[in-house]
Chain A
Amino acid sequence: MSVTNLNLGYVPLIDAAPLFIAQALGFAEEEGLNLTLLPAPSWSSLRDMLSVGHVVAAHMLAPVPIAIAMGLGAGPTPIEALMVLNLNGNTIGVSQKLAEQMRAQGYDFDFSDAVKARDALLAVSNTLRVGVPFPFSMHQMLIQYWLRGSNQFFPTGLEIQTVPPPRMVEALAAGEIDVFCVGEPRGSVAVEKGAGALLLPGSAIWQAAPEKVLASRVGWAEEEPHIAGALMRALFRSGQWLSQPENYSVASELLVAPGRLDVSAEVIERVLSGRLLISQLGVERRVQRFLEFHIGAANFPWRSQAAWIGAQLAWRHGLDPAPAIAAARTVFRSDLYRLHMKAAGAELPSASDKLEGAVCVPTAAAATQGRLILQPDQFFDARIFNPTEPQR
């Protein structure tokens, strides 16, 4: 079999794991691919690397291709999502100062109840400066969604600003921001360095938030169907492997190999198994599906997920939601996923849309291939998002 060389881009975070695992364990090789993984210092430069063809595909924030399709931000070339790489994996943390004030008020840092956490935050401060990694990110959306009606909760001001992840801990320690929402391992590093305490996992706001996608230039996957399919299947198998608890410690060791992630294997293992240290007091909290690479058709790019992201962006930027949602839906290529993933034995749902937030317990769903059990995907406020009748 001939071998195809492929350049993939990523930002060094734990959820880039499927790319590393595909390379390290031979999932890519089995599909006839030789991957070269290129790290990017920032999301904007990763987007540019995709635009100019320096990389053919990348580990990308799910909202980025949607924002570009909606004409928001600085994106010269349209890109699309071939599959979801992972759900969840973010943490929300507060500065040491806020944490102490909240503890003094009797808040127990349960790391699960988003309403309680918001009330506790409001009890000690009515202004809030929040750092997120990128304007078009699930972090920014989760914060917006959680503090929606922020005038009610923070009457004198909620300010969300972009702070590059490598600077997040420093910004929190220096008092430039009070709260952050960031992908692991940055939250754990903040705790380790004594800069703050973790307040919530991202999954406490939305139990199944599409976090990173495999993104490529619009049209590439159709021009190179064999390569695109091979890449998608290799990454699918990586996610499958990563989701098995018996692989967590091997995965952690593989991910800290030179040239991969600059964080301790112990932190990675905690993140993969959902056992996070939330403060320097040594308190550990367990989170179900803290970071999900596979289970519950996690890789399927639901059009309704794209619609939710499109709707949030439209409301935030004052755009008409209907065309925004229509544009967003075309970006998540559930059609290509169906085409290429059949051969990998992936569960393929009968529909490409679902009501987002409607599943409270694992539920069997109709599938054209495999046995599909949808996992809980509720929002913290129990609202249900219907992609055909989006309501703010």
Chain B
Amino acid sequence: MIIDGLREAGDFDVFVIGEEAGLTRRIAERNPDVVLIDAGNPSRDALEDLATASAPMRRPVAMFVDQTDAAMTKAAIEAGMSAYVVDGLRPERLRPILDVAIARFQMVQKMRVELVETRRALEERKVIDRAKGILMRARGIGEEEAYVLLRKAAMDQGKKVADMAQALVIATDLLK
């Protein structure tokens, strides 16, 4: 998604390095202007080699930090992005890249949260359905009535319907 974003934002050549083995060598071969890496990736430390003059790129590289804009730096780090920039690259050129990267990251993050929520909801639904089935069979009642019963029991106990359903399913399994 970052790649798509960068392509939309301007004319960039983007290379993706998926293999972590020999990372610095791979980067040196490409000789890029900017390296974007997920700050959560431990291989980030290997990039520090590029920050020293003795490194494979044989020229100074610095981590770009716009000292005038601490909030921006903080956002970049919290978003899990950091930028290593060849000395001499103008900050104006970097900013749109970072903006895009951060925006994309937040979007991905939101989608991740949504996915987790959806999965959980589905799981709960399944358990509630099973609990309803148990009640319907045991007491010879309809689906709606079974749900009302479950909800009332949950309210009386100060629990969530899903938790109540889970307890019932486990108890029934034990009694089998």
Contacts and interface: CB of A to CB of B under 8 A. Distances in A.
Given A164-B42, A317-B53, A52 B67 contact: no
Given A48-B82, A73-B51, A174 B21 contact: yes
A262 to B, nearest CB: 13
B45 A76 contact: no
Nearest to B39: A45
Contact of B49 (A54, A162, A176): A162
A392 interface: no
Contacts of A41: 39-42, 44
Given A48-B39, A52-B74, A74-B84, A164 B52 contact: no
Contacts of B74: 52, 54
Interface of B: 20-22, 24, 39-49, 51-54, 61-63, 65, 67, 70, 73-74, 77-78, 82, 84
A290 interface: no
A48 B83 CA distance: 12
B62 to A, nearest CB: 6
Interface of A: 41-45, 48-49, 51-52, 54, 72-74, 76, 133-136, 161-167, 171, 174, 176, 316-317
Pick the most buried of A133, A135, A316: most chain B CB atoms within 10 A of its CB: A135
B47 A44 contact: yes
A242 to B, nearest CB: 26
Contacts of A51: 73
B32 to A, nearest CB: 16
Contacts of B39: 41-42, 44-45, 48
A164 B70 contact: no
B42 A165 contact: yes
Nearest to A45: B39
Nearest to B49: A162
A39 to B, nearest CB: 11
A171 B21 contact: yes
A73 B65 contact: no
Contacts of A135: 48-49, 51-52
A73 B62 CA distance: 7
Nearest to A48: B77
